[in-house]
């Protein structure tokens, strides 16, 4: 748990040096998983996001994930839509901690380590430092054995400057 806390501190510090949206985005992610979401921009088109969340698939367990995202902000949009609208894609990782109370689940006895491939849509509002997003994330778990999974969620973040 100390390692996860250190990762969050690094992400928070990186948020003050971001080149795209200013500050660090903090919000909620709802779906699979559900929890707290963070995002910091590296430059105008790339970002790092992370979440500390509860996973409800197969059995209840804590999940931490972090992704490197690319946002090509050249999407056509109707003139009445203000702000930045973008599809995004990326790659990242997740750790899903074992849950010993459940039976017949993949991570009853072992923690899972996987590679994430997020694909999503985000809308950064022009009027407020708020971002809404929706994503589908195929996951390839590689430890303790190879298996596929799918995360899907919606969420919102407020950017602190």
List of domains in the chain: 2-160 (2.40.160.20)
What's the pTM? 0.82
**Per-residue pLDDT tens digits for 122-138:** 999 999 999 999 999 99
Q: What's the pLDDT tens digit per position in 73-93? A: 767 777 888 888 899 999 999
Of 129, 118, 125, nearest to 33 by C-alpha is: 118
Answer yes or no: is pLDDT of 14 > 50: no
Q: What is the pLDDT of residue 104?
A: 57
Using pLDDT thresholds of 50, 70 and 90, give the confidence band for residue 109: low
Q: Is 145 exposed, middle or buried (0-12, 13-18, 19+ CB in 10 A)?
A: exposed
Tell me the average pLDDT across 28-53.
Answer: 96
The proportion of the chain whose per-residue pLDDT surpasses 90, expressed as a percent, equals 61
Calculate the average pLDDT of the chain: 84
DSSP character for 125? Answer: -
Helix (H, G, I), strand (E, B) or coil at 82: coil
Tell me what pLDDT residue 120 has. Answer: 97
């Amino acid at each position: 748990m100390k390692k996860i806390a250190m990762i969050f501190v690094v992400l928070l510090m990186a948020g003050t040096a971001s080149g795209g949206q200013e500050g660090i985005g903090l919000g909620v992610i709802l779906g699979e998983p559900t929890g707290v979401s963070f995002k910091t921009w590296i430059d105008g088109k790339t970002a790092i996001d992370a979440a500390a969340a509860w996973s409800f698939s197969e059995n209840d367990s804590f999940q931490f994930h972090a992704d490197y995202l690319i946002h090509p902000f050249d999407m056509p949009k109707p003139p009445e839509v203000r702000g930045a609208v973008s599809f995004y894609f990326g790659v990242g990782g997740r750790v899903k901690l074992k849950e010993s109370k459940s039976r017949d689940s993949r991570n009853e006895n072992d923690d899972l380590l996987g590679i994430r491939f997020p694909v999503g849509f985000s809308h950064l509002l022009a009027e407020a430092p708020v971002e809404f997003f929706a994503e589908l994330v195929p996951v390839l778990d590689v430890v303790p054995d190879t298996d596929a999974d799918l995360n899907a969620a919606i969420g919102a973040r407020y950017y602190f400057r």
